[in-house]
Amino acid sequence: QASPLYAQCQGCHQPTGAGIPGVFPPLAGHVPEILAAKGGREYLIQVLLYGLQGQITVKGAKYQGAMPAYTQLKDEEIAGLLNHISTQWGNKFPTGQQAFTAAEVKAQRAKTMTAAQVLEARNKLGLK
């Protein structure tokens, strides 16, 4: 299902959500494992609001790029994008989790983080 907002993402993460190995991380098959981690929902909101910079490992592959920040999007738009990437390409919310709301995005926007702090938050998720 098409999402006009995801058009801004697919140049890097690809229409299939598969990313480009070693360059842009996949979202397909990967967003659910972030959602399942304690703090993962908040982290996903932070990535969109503040970007991400520094080395990460996804499914055994290393990435050292820069994810741009999308602070200019409205809270509802960020929630909509996160709902899109959480439910496309076979992705699903973990049992018991509901769709992202604008109120959840607003709460993370109140924090004001740097892309490097978002990386620190990621490191605390305990992703494999």
Q: Residue 2 Cβ, how far from ligand HEM at the closest point, in Å?
A: 14
- Assess contact for 19 and 13: CB atoms under 8 A: yes
Q: Residue 27 Cβ, how far from ligand HEM at the closest point, in Å?
A: 6
Ramachandran class of 26: left when φ > 0, alpha when ψ lies in -120 to 50, beta otherwise: beta
Ramachandran class of 12: left when φ > 0, alpha when ψ lies in -120 to 50, beta otherwise: alpha
Q: Could you identify the residue written with the tokens 């738009």?
A: 77
Q: Residue 106 Cβ, how far from ligand HEM at the closest point, in Å?
A: 18
Nearest to ligand HEM of 39, 65 (CB atom): 65
What are the φ and ψ backbone dihedral angles of 91, each rounded to 5 degrees?
A: -65, 150
Nearest to ligand HEM of 47, 79 (CB atom): 47
Nearest to ligand HEM of 64, 114 (CB atom): 64
Binding-site ranges for ligand HEM (CB under 6 A) = 8-9, 11-13, 24-25, 27, 44, 47-48, 52-54, 56, 58, 63-68, 70, 81, 85, 122
Q: Please count the CA atoms within 13 angstroms of the CA of 102 that sit on its side-chain side.
A: 5
Nearest to ligand HEM of 77, 106 (CB atom): 77
Q: Residue 13 Cβ, how far from ligand HEM at the closest point, in Å?
A: 5
C-alpha–C-alpha distance, residues 52 and 26, integer Å:
15
